Amino acid sequence: MKHTGSITRGAFVVLLLALCAACGTRPVYEDEEFKKDAPYQRSYATGEQEACDAAQRALLSQGYRIDEAKDTNIHAHKEFQPEEELNAVLDFHVICKTSSKGATVFVNAIETRYKLKKVSGGASVSVAGGGISLPWSKSADSLVKVSSTTVTEKKFYKQFFDLVGTLIDK
């Protein structure tokens, strides 16, 4: 009987763990949709190098700092401070590929937010003999990452692609 009881307890533990796992959050990829009309690409009647050059000039004209620029690959970022204790960074990734229409520019922007967090600590110094004790506190500020998400707004990408289109001919 004791052996059967331990198998039952083991099965109960496995069942309990399975139920706990089922209560967790759903994986993000379950909401992912692969659509043909995604806002992350646009084709231009030009070569891939010319398209990427125009994309780089578009980013520079809007205050982005180019972190890496290869022939058909660009990584840039721009920093924002929308609130006093909140900083945000917009990372921009551009890849240009040859297509049947000339070149297709693929873009992905990621917004990462950081919040200012105050960390405090204390310390004290004592002199031997018990005469003097000098306590002091120390605080430091640090930015803590609170979110990171892909920008999905079609208007945002349309504005970028429209600007790239005007710069291709120049």
Q: Which CA distances in Å does 149 have to 43, 98, 120, 134, 165?
A: 25, 28, 30, 47, 26
Give residue-wise pLDDT tens across range 33-90.
888 888 999 999 999 999 999 999 999 999 999 999 998 999 999 999 998 889 999 9
pLDDT computed for residue 142 by the predictor: 84
Mean pLDDT, range 147-155, rounded to an integer: 95
Mean pLDDT, range 15-23, rounded to an integer: 53
Q: Which two tokens stand for residue 23?
A: 């209560």
Pairwise CA distance, residues 86 & 96, whole Å: 33
36-126+133-168 belongs to which CATH class?
alpha beta
The structure's pTM equals: 0.71
Nearest to 121 by CA among 147, 150, 141, 145: 141
Where do the domains of the chain lie?
Answer: 36-126+133-168
pLDDT confidence bin for 128, thresholds 50/70/90: low
pLDDT computed for residue 98 by the predictor: 97
pLDDT computed for residue 124 by the predictor: 58
